[in-house]
Amino acid sequence: AAERTFIAIKPDGVQRGIVGEIISRFERKGFKLVGLKQLIPSQSLAEQHYAVHKERPFFSTLVNFITSGPVVAMVWEGEGVILSARKLIGATNPLQSEPGTIRGDLAIDIGRNIIHGSDGPETALSEIALWFEVSEVTDWIPSD
């Protein structure tokens, strides 16, 4: 199977009504949407998702924020999608993200940076497995 990555639109992105705008950017780039759902993450899901940040001073802020409302969780597929998605998303701190990127165009606050994308192949696999059941990811063949 082609490479896959986990992408989540955080509660601020949903609240601001920019879900369509964000999905559009991935579609227009040419990636394939193979998983999509909206949920309010449980405390446990959020803590597992952010486990690598457990010792950081902002860990509880992070968990509180991601569980504060609906998140749009997605799996995107395509050649080089993990790195390419990171480029589409832009730097973690929106004040340093380049214009043209999602965060560069649409955000200013590091704690409210609207979107998450897996940072590498191992993380992509573990995050997809954490957020999605196997049956919730649908492969499909684009017609030409």
Tell me whether residue 32 is annotated as binding.
no
Closest CA to 6 of 29, 37, 28: 37
Q: Does 111 bind ligand CMP (CB under 6 A)?
A: yes
Q: Spot the catalytic one: 116, 118, 128, 131.
A: 116
Number of C-alpha atoms within 13 angstroms, CB side, residue 93? Answer: 2
Assigned token pair, 50: 């952010």
Q: If binding is defined by CB under 6 A, does position 110 make contact with ligand CMP?
A: yes
One of 61, 64, 96, 138 touching ligand CMP (CB under 6 A): 61
Please state the φ and ψ torsions of residue 115, each to the nearest 5 degrees.
Answer: -150, 150
Closest to 35 measured CA to CA, from 67, 7, 9, 69: 7
Question: Least distance from C-beta 58 to ligand CMP, angstroms?
Answer: 4
Among 27, 42, 58, 64, binds ligand CMP (CB under 6 A): 58
User: Is residue 64 a contact point for ligand CMP (CB under 6 A)?
Assistant: no
